[in-house]
């Protein structure tokens, strides 16, 4: 339960003192690092391979040196890693392959250096169990002529290294929710530096980041990626998440994608998926939107199983019917209604065309599963 306001204020000042110390430490470290970053690379290029690990939720990475600057992922070789250390293999068959699929500029190593998103393949070069991209790509190829677009709203919560919410008083709670969403002021938002650094780093990398905002719970933030067509939505979101975790390293904080990081009267975190097809975006597209929502209503539970990495168990904590959610067992939709499973933006209703928002995916969802499920149900009904 939230503490009384008097209590909160006295604890709040303790919180800010520790933040100030943290920033002093950060600026000392960054001037040391500048010295090494400014050294020339002697004609070589660093490429960071990134992949989803055996949890289907967390990311891993490692670096490889090249003597040329790659301009497309297929110029980079398949590489491998020790799958026993990532929950992706057993000891006697420990090699897992990583195949480059999407290339970005590396904002942490400016210059010719790259980030490359990879898919994971087993020793027969078949997708590993957490490689959901393959299936997603299949659906996207089949639905290509409908030109599916996605806009993903990634909510996350900043934590201190002790996993206490960033900037929260170490004893007790901040004042109740209300002033924080899209807030401004040192007593309203915590960690804006992280958000700004991530925003610019994403732009530099080549992520189609469409915006950011402070969320309802203090220390909770959101960034949006999109609109992206087809498979690109998942690719871009995974790399944007990687950049977030890497930026947080620099600030000595942790970004959690847990969908309900703090129990009680505090909003959870989602990854709303905004969706449209060519038909929905064109004049009179509202009919196609209603048809798609009807199809979604018939397979609600199947979608819930794909909307978090634990078959719906993570979303059980979040989709409670409170805090701008519908309950996990019910499907509902409405114009401008944020208590529904699916929201039709007021603008879309007024224009009679546009897109709709599926509010069910949890913040830690696999975006390939979410976008695949939407395309399968709305564009390819009946196909496996
Ligand atoms: P909300 O009002 O729910 O907070 P946001 O502004 O955070 O919405 O996010 C909306 C997302 O939808 C953005 O990423 C935006 O790029 C995306 N978007 C806009 N138009 C479309 C469209 N026609 N189809 C799919 N996504 C879209
Ligand atoms: Mn080794
Ligand atoms: Mn949003
Ligand atoms: Mn939000
Ligand atoms: Mn939203």
Q: Quick one: which ligand is closest to 80's CA?
A: 2
Q: Whose atoms come closest to the Cα of 81: which ligand?
A: 2
Q: How far is the CA of 331 from the centre of ligand 3 (A)?
A: 20
Ligand 3 center–CA 6 separation, angstroms: 32
Q: From the CA of 227, give the closest atom in ligand 1.
A: 16
Find the residues whose C-beta lies inside 6 A of ligand 1: 149-151, 153, 210, 224, 226-227, 272, 274-276, 281, 354-355, 357
Residue 92 Cα to ligand 3 midpoint, Å, equals 46
pLDDT reported for residue 301 = 97
Taking the C-alpha atoms of residue 111 and residue 113, their distance in angstroms, rounded to an integer, is 6
- Residue 327: φ, ψ to 5°: -65, 155
CB-based contacts of 354, cutoff 8 Å, min separation 6: 276, 280, 281, 285, 289, 345, 347, 348
**ipTM confidence:** 0.98
First to last CA, the chain: 46
Give me the pLDDT at residue 6, please: 38
Among protein residues, the one with the nearest Cα to ligand 1's atom 8 is 153
Residue 20's pLDDT is what?
A: 65
What lies within 8 Å, CB to CB, of 303 at 6+ separation is 296, 358, 360, 373, 377
Task: Specify the residue with its C-alpha closest to ligand 1, atom 2.
Answer: 345
Of all protein residues, whose CA lies closest to atom 15 belonging to ligand 1?
Answer: 151
pLDDT, residue 5, reads: 40
Residues with CB under 5 A from ligand 4 (ion): 222
pLDDT of residue 31: 84
Q: Which ligand is nearest to the CA of 62?
A: 2
d(CA 205, CA 235): 13
112, 45 in Cβ contact below 8 A? yes
The protein residue whose alpha carbon is closest to atom 19 in ligand 1 is: 227
Q: What DSSP designation does 267 have?
A: -
Atom of ligand 1 nearest to the CA of 357: 3
pLDDT means per 10 residues in the chain (384 residues)?
A: 40 54 74 90 98 97 98 97 88 89 97 98 95 98 98 98 94 94 96 97 98 97 98 98 97 97 95 98 97 97 98 96 92 94 97 98 98 98 62
pLDDT tens digits, one per residue of 203-252: 999 999 999 999 999 999 999 999 999 999 999 999 999 999 999 999 99
Report how far ligand 5's centroid is from the alpha carbon of 147 (Å). Answer: 21
Model pLDDT, residue 3: 40
Structure token digits, residue 74? 């297929």
Separation between Cα atoms, residue 342 and residue 326, nearest integer Å: 9
What DSSP letter does each residue of 173-237 carry, written as one string?
A: -PSPSSS-TT--STTT-S-HHHHHHHHHHHHHHT--EEEEEE-SSTTEEEEEEEEEETTHHHHHH
By C-alpha distance, which of 14, 293, 304, 49 is closest to 169?
Answer: 14
CA of 188 to the centre of ligand 4 (A): 16
Mean pLDDT score across all residues of the chain: 93
The pLDDT score that the predictor gives to residue 82 is: 87
* Residue 99 dihedral angles phi and psi, to the nearest 5°: -110, 120
Residue 128: HSE in the Cβ half-sphere, 13 Å Cα cutoff: 27
pLDDT at 342: 97
Provide the token pair at 183: 């807030």
| Segment 150-184, tens digit of pLDDT | 999 999 999 999 999 999 998 889 999 999 999 99
Ligand that comes closest to the CA of residue 358:
5
CA of 59 from ligand 2 middle (Å) equals 19
- Assess whether the previous peptide bond of 360 is cis (omega < 30° from 0): no
> What distance in angstroms lies between residue 55's CA and the mean position of ligand 2's atoms?
21
> pLDDT at position 19, please?
63
Q: Are 48 and 63 a contacting pair, CB within 8 Å? A: yes
229 touches 127 (CB < 8 A): no
- For residue 115, the surrounding DSSP H or E stretch is strand 114-121
Residue 18's pLDDT is 62
């Amino acid at each position: 339960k939230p503490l009384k306001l008097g209590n909160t204020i006295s604890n709040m000042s303790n919180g800010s003192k520790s933040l100030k110390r943290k920033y002093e430490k950060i600026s000392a470290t960054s001037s040391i690092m500048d010295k090494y970053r400014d050294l020339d690379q002697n004609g070589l290029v660093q490429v960071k391979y990134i992949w989803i690990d055996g949890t289907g939720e967390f990311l891993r990475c490692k670096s490889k040196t090249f003597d040329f600057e790659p301009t497309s992922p297929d110029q980079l070789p398949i590489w491998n890693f020790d799958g026993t250390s990532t929950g992706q293999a057993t000891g006697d068959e420990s090699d897992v392959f990583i195949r480059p699929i999407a290339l970005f500029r590396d904002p942490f190593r400016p210059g010719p250096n790259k980030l490359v998103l990879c898919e994971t393949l087993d020793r027969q070069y078949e997708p590993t169990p957490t490689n959901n991209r393959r299936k997603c790509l299949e659906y996207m190829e089949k639905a290509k002529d409908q030109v599916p677009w996605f806009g993903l709203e990634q909510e996350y919560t900043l934590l201190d290294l002790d996993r206490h919410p960033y900037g929260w008083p170490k004893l007790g709670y901040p004042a109740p929710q209300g002033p924080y969403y899209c807030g401004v002021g040192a007593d309203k938002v915590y960690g804006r530096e992280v958000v700004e650094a991530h925003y610019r780093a994403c732009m530099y990398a080549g992520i189609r980041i469409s915006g950011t905002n402070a969320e309802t719970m203090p220390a909770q933030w959101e960034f949006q990626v999109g609109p992206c067509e087809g498979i690109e939505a998942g690719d871009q979101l995974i790399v944007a998440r990687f950049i977030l975790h890497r930026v947080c390293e620099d600030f000595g904080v942790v970004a959690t994608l847990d969908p309900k990081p703090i129990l009680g009267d505090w909003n959870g975190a989602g990854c709303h998926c905004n969706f449209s097809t060519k038909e929905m975006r064109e004049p009179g597209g509202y009919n196609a939107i209603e048809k798609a929502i009807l199809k979604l209503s018939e397979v609600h539970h199947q979608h819930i199983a794909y909307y978090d990495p634990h078959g719906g168990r993570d979303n059980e904590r979040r989709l409670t019917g409170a805090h701008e959610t519908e309950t996990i067992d019910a499907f509902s939709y409405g114009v401008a209604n944020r208590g529904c499973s699916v929201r039709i933006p007021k603008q879309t209703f007024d224009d009679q065309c546009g897109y709709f928002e599926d509010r069910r995916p949890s913040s830690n969802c696999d975006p390939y599963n979410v976008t695949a499920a939407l395309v399968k149900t709305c564009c390819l009904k009946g196909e496996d």
